[in-house]
Amino acid sequence: MSSAIPLRLYVNGDRYEIAVEPRRTLADALREDCGLTGTHLGCEHGVCGACTVLVDGQPVRSCLMFAVQAEDTSVRTVEGLAPDEERLHPVQQAFWENHGLQCGFCTPGFLVLIAGYLEEHPDAEEAELREVLSSNLCRCTGYQNILTSTMCAARAMRGEP
Amino acid sequence: MIGARALRIEDPVLLRGAGRFAADTIRPGELHMRVVRSPIAHGRIRSVDVTPALLLDGVVAAWTHADIAELPAIGFRLTPLADLLPYRQPVLARRIVRYVGEPVAVVFATSAYLAEDGAELVQLDLDPLPAHLDADAEPVAWLDAEQATWAAGLGHQLPAQDSQATAFTVEYGDVAAAFAAPGPGYRVIESDARIGRHTGVPMECRGLAAVYDAAEQQLIVDGAAKVPFWNREAVAAMCGLPPRQVQVRETHVGGGFGPRGELYPEDVLVTLAAVRLRRPIKWIEDRQEHLVATNHSRGQHHRLRALVRADGVIEALDAAFVLDQGAYVRTHGATVASLTASMLPGPYRIPNFRVRAQVRLTHKTPAGTYRSPGRYEGTFARERLVDRIAGELGLDPVEVRERNFIPAEAMPYERPIQAMGTELVHDSGDYALLRAKVWEKFDLDGVRRDVAARRAAGELAGFGFAFFVEKSGIGPYEGARISVDSSGAVTVTCGASSVGQGVDTVLAQVAAEVLGIAHDSIRVVRGRTDQFEYGRGAFATRLAVMAGSAVSNAAQALADKARRVAAHTLGVPVEDLSLAGGKVLVTADPARALSFGEIARLLDPSGAAELKESPGLTADGWFHSDHMTYPYGLHAAVVRIDPGTGQTHVERFIVGYDVGRALNPTLVEGQIAGGVAQGLGGALYEEFRYAEDGTPLCTTFMDYLIPTAMEIPPIETLITEDAPSPINPLGVKGAGEGGTTAVAAAVAAAVDDALGRPNAITSVPIHPARIRGLLT
């Protein structure tokens, strides 16, 4: 084991000066060193996707990335989606309106995945989005309401009624 | 408000990532616990040496069984048959390990990483013994007299015990006489049905964070789920504290489905360590641990024998099943076996019935309940039998079912047996009506014709369906307190628990309906033993019925109290007042009104004394029930089989379900859809498999396959309210489990149809290799 090394992380526009062991995962650093516990750990082997965050805009399993690898990148977590305390991100709003969550544990991973994907692929259609959603696991909803929420969010983000 | 598709009040917090799940409680100075688990399925413990772990910087303590030898085995919460006591699990293994994953030692360290490092240094010296894995095989020697006596904890000596923990028979009528003297044209039809071992697997693994607050002299346990009140009593007893010194608090819970929230060895270790070490203790299970440590379920093998008239009416059913219990009997006692037995007849009359249950130990992870316990298994067995009866008699499977249904005019229908310790009375239902409605809404005759045409064109497409009865709303009680503060804000405090299903929203809707306010203005407090005195828990689909009715009663009492105070203050009779918009107003002159806040202020202790009322605008409500309520439904599937891979694709899945009264149809549909997805997992993908030496082969999400968005079709639902429950004030029946119950049965029937091979599928999950075998 080696001792902690200093690390600067940029998360949701804020700068965090922390010190981590090289083996510390990005997920643990976000949760425990930055206090951002909205990123959840569901399997710690990269399958379930609950820990998904955006690193420089790309969806990443934060359980499979070391915190030190995120140095000088821009990280976005579920806490960084909503613009303010009053309003939700369109994906969050769509999940609320379409019962896209039950227990809410996998939800941050889905929200971040979808927000990231729709920002890069605003015209994505249903079949493509279903395949994107299949990268994460949910045990409560049976996925249909997540897909419906995603389609609604896509329309909202395109400015359609 | 009741019946509205109201948005959930839980969601804004969860959507922002602001929830507090078990791992999200982070306390300064906390120690992390790591469990050292048995790497072998069966063996004698020669020694466990924690010294190397203790020498590691950051490791604070490490325990083996010797350090907790005074603790008894973990007790039963439900169905506590005396036979089962010797099979209870010790908190840490003593003398013998009995499954891969059994806790043998624990290490406490200043970080989760160091705790894991320390755990790897613990030296286990184990003598392997042969693993017994086949519950169908004849029972083997299991416990010596010393272990049996210790685990039972009865204070007297017990003899050695074999691997059949218990066997019992549930029966009515006279099965032997019926089979001995069959009428003319009667047939005996037999079938065999197996359900693979699988379980709930919530997305959040288990976890607990406990601290002993020396200032308050309280042991605070965060991260509880499902049954916090029961666990408070159990934890207090284990830690040698009176219950008033233990606060068990449910925070957010990342899915339950049965396994999560029961009292496990780890829960005892975390809380005991908080008391002993006087440091905050945290334990967060990882997924690999979860798949070997948290309750498995479902592994059952059924053999059924029916005496059937030529018209398909079942005259007698003689059944037996073996439940693969795994290595110990945990908190559920004999619940799953008991429910399998009592719910096996389902929607059918079956005048003569007998079922023999055998609960048998194997060197696998212990088993407990999973969503629709006993019914998923029994429904698969029974509905496969009914399909076989139809096939052998050349009758339509719809016709056979309808001829056997308990008729609507026979409701309430008492079956002279018990379910979960209550008399089994189908409280209401019109099974034939639901069958007809589903058929019409989804044009299932057309669907059948369509798949037949596809088959004729060479495709392997099939349709199948199954009917079932669920149960919900077990008592004996639930309570709620509603209080209004001086600003008029309403809080519902109750003993209910949430595992993520939307309890807060539904209870708020019930209160809002009575009080005439918006549901999203209400705060719901639940699952906290420091906030309410009694709660029975979130299981058996009981909360909409039990807590919903308690909240309704509390809200009525609060409304009455508010009206009395307003009547006195406004000088009008109580009958002239109504509630709306957070006010009590004179119905004929709505400008004359008192807000809830004003009434609450009038009821401060001084004012209340003058009004001869108890202080505060607050009221309690209770609901008691001796009987369960019985929702019922129909599942239908359309499948397509890939002849090359043998893979089954579910194209459509249809559910008709009568819930008496849907408090929030969106949430009911959500429960159904999620339940179907889990049912499909058990039907097609999920199974815990073991190597010959008892090594589990499914310990990651690469080998234990949870369905993704690619496997689950849109779930088409018809929620009906044709049979309100007569035994609760809301008329509601629970919606939590009916999405799961008949999935395996319906999919199996559809696969038979696709293959054109009646009775081909007698076990689930339906592996592609099995299909390939049937195709060649």
Superfamily of domain A90-157, CATH level 4: [2Fe-2S]-binding domain (1.10.150.120)
What rounded mean pLDDT belongs to chain B?
97
Across the range B713-731, mean pLDDT stands at: 97
Would you tell me how many other CB atoms lie within 10 Å of the CB of residue B157? Answer: 10
> B128 touching A, CB under 8 A?
no
Please identify which residue in the block is written with the tokens 């990268």. A135
Q: Which residues of B290-324 are buried (b: 16+ CB within 10 A; e: fewer)?
A: bbbbbbbbbbbbbbbbbbbbeebbbbbbbbbbbbb
Q: Give tens-digit pLDDT for B605-647.
A: 999 999 999 999 999 999 999 999 999 999 999 999 999 999 9
Q: Are B625 and B546 in contact (CB under 8 A)?
A: yes
Across the range B695-713, mean pLDDT stands at: 98
Q: What is the CATH number of domain B300-473+627-775?
A: 3.30.365.10
Closest residue, chain A, to B251 (C-alpha): A103
- 3-state SS track over B117-135: HHHHHCEEEEEECCCCCCC
Give domain A5-77's CATH architecture: Roll (3.10)
Give residue B547's Cα distance to chain centre. Answer: 16
Q: Rounded distance, CA B525 to CA B491, Å?
A: 7
Closest residue, chain A, to B200 (C-alpha): A139
- Asked if the domains at B300-473+627-775 and B477-624 fall in one CATH topology, the answer is yes
pLDDT above 90: percentage of residues in chain B: 99
More confident position, B176 or A1: B176
Q: Give tens-digit pLDDT for B336-386.
A: 999 999 999 999 999 999 999 999 999 999 999 999 999 999 999 999 999
Name the B residues in 177-206 with CB < 8 Å from any A CB: 200-205
Tell me the β-bridge partners of A16.
Answer: A9
Across the range B199-209, mean pLDDT stands at: 98
Note the pLDDT of residue A2. Answer: 56
> B56 touching A, CB under 8 A?
no
> How big is the CA angle at B370 (ends B740 and B666), to the nearest 5 degrees?
45
Work out whether strand B164-172 and strand B187-195 pair parallel, antiparallel, or are unpaired.
unpaired
Short-list B87, B625, B627, CA closest to B331 = B87
Asked if CATH classification 3.40.720.10 holds for the domain at B477-624, the reply, yes or no, is: no
In this complex, the residue of A47, A103, A142 whose CB is nearest that of residue B715 is: A142
B667 chain-A contacts, CB cut-off 8 A: 99
End-to-end CA distance of chain A: 55
Domain range summary for chain A, segments of one domain joined by +: 5-77, 90-157
Closest residue, chain B, to A24 (C-alpha): B113
Closest residue, chain A, to B9 (C-alpha): A96
Q: Give tens-digit pLDDT for B388-402.
A: 999 999 999 999 999
Mutation for testing the B interface, residue in A144, A147, A149, A151 having most B CBs under 10 Å: A144
Please identify which residue in the block is written with the tokens 């009375």. B425
A130 chain-B contacts, CB cut-off 8 A: 709-710
Tell me the β-bridge partners of B482.
Answer: B492, B619
Decide: helix, strand or coil at residue B553: helix
Decide: helix, strand or coil at residue B214: coil
> B280 touching A, CB under 8 A?
no
Q: Give tens-digit pLDDT for B220-273.
A: 999 999 999 999 999 999 999 999 999 999 999 999 999 999 999 999 999 999
Phi, psi (deg, nearest 5) at residue B12: -55, -40
Across the range B707-714, mean pLDDT stands at: 98
Q: Give tens-digit pLDDT for B425-461.
A: 999 999 999 999 999 999 999 999 999 999 999 999 9
> How big is the CA angle at B142 (ends B139 and B146), to the nearest 5 degrees?
145
Q: Rounded distance, CA B761 to CA B753, Å?
A: 10
The set of residues, in sequence order, having a beta carbon less than 8 Å from that of A15 and lying 6+ positions away, is: A8, A9
Closest-CA distance, A31 to chain B, in angstroms, reads 8
Across the range B101-107, mean pLDDT stands at: 98
Domain range summary for chain B, segments of one domain joined by +: 11-131+143-154+205-253+260-293, 300-473+627-775, 477-624
Ranges under pLDDT 50 in chain A: 1
Q: Rounded distance, CA A82 to CA A98, Å?
A: 18
> B317 touching A, CB under 8 A?
no
> B499 touching A, CB under 8 A?
yes
Decide: helix, strand or coil at residue B623: strand
Closest-CA distance, A69 to chain B, in angstroms, reads 18
> B775 touching A, CB under 8 A?
no
Instruction: Report the length, in residues, of chain B.
Output: 776
Would you tell me how many other CB atoms lie within 10 Å of the CB of residue B138? Answer: 9
Tell me the β-bridge partners of B34.
Answer: B107
Q: Give tens-digit pLDDT for B485-528.
A: 999 999 999 999 999 999 999 999 999 999 999 999 999 999 99
Name the B residues in 726-755 with CB < 8 Å from any A CB: 739
Decide: helix, strand or coil at residue B679: helix
Q: Are B498 and B631 in contact (CB under 8 A)?
A: no
B256 chain-A contacts, CB cut-off 8 A: 103
Name the strand (E) or helix (H) holding B43.
strand B43-49
HSE, CB side, 13 Å, CA atoms: give it for residue B525.
Answer: 15
Q: Rounded distance, CA A64 to CA B596, Å?
A: 53
Question: What CATH fold (topology level) applies to the domain B11-131+143-154+205-253+260-293?
Answer: Aldehyde Oxidoreductase; domain 3 (3.90.1170)
Say whether B15 and A137 touch across the interface (CB within 8 A): no
Decide: helix, strand or coil at residue B572: coil
Say whether B7 and A96 touch across the interface (CB within 8 A): yes
Q: Rounded distance, CA B554 to CA B332, Å?
A: 31
Closest-CA distance, A28 to chain B, in angstroms, reads 10
Q: Rounded distance, CA B753 to CA B570, Å?
A: 71
Give residue B28's Cα distance to chain centre. Answer: 35
Note the pLDDT of residue B81. Answer: 86
